[in-house]
Chain A
Amino acid sequence: GAVVSQHPSWVICKSGTSVKIECRSLDFQATTMFWYRQFPKQSLMLMATSNEGSKATYEQGVEKDKFLINHASLTLSTLTVTSAHPEDSSFYICSAGGTILGTGELFFGEGSRLTVL
């Protein structure tokens, strides 16, 4: 299947700093990518839809200024957690695929574990 890569897998930062997480589609082009947040023992919560060359579409309740999404190319979307606080600590996962690949299947990155001290 298609491959979606996330980097970094783990990141620890101090409160008040910003952290960037990258999501890459390695063997296909993705005009749309999705960013999810997952709390321990819970399901994935869709944060936003990342659209190549245009603004991201955020789900209700997600702070646009806190979670900056940039989809500058057909293979790369980035999520920047700005002025991170301990409550932003979470597991962040991206996905791509679906109708783009014609399979109906979304492919997920390995996830990025963010810990804010």
Chain B
Amino acid sequence: AQSVTQLDSHVSVSEGTPVLLRCNYSSSYSPSLFWYVQHPNKGLQLLLKYTSAATLVKGINGFEAEFKKSETSFHLTKPSAHMSDAAEYFCVASKTSYDKVIFGPGTSLSVIP
């Protein structure tokens, strides 16, 4: 069975410091992986996606993620946090196709001024 784990339910960082949000997946095949961000009472916005091309993926707003097959991980990073980055982040894996996906439980990011 395919699953997505986000190890931290909540992460708090100071503004200007690096961000690391962890994601691990389990799958019998190489999945497509996505990171989405959700601000309060809003829908989800795609930050970046991995679809078996380059393992280091760059996204919007300075975020990037690296796909490590040996570790079954797809951690999200950003060199310097901004206040506007405070939101909920979801790691998502594709199931059978790109359409039906598996959501991780989410990580709430707080940015301290």
Query: Which A residues contact B (CB, under 8 angstroms)?
Result: 1, 4, 6, 32, 34, 41-44, 46, 49, 91, 93, 95, 98-100, 103-111, 113
Contact = CB atoms under 8 A, between A and B. Distances in A.
Contacts, number: 55
Interface in B41-64: 41-46, 49, 51
B40 to A, nearest CB: 10
Q: Which 6 A-B pairs have the closest CB atoms?
A: A98-B99, A104-B98, A108-B43, A98-B98, A108-B44, A110-B43
Contact of A110 (B32, B42, B105, B106): B42
Given A93-B44, A105-B34, A43 B104 contact: yes
Contacts of B101: 106
B106 A43 contact: yes
A16 B44 CA distance: 30
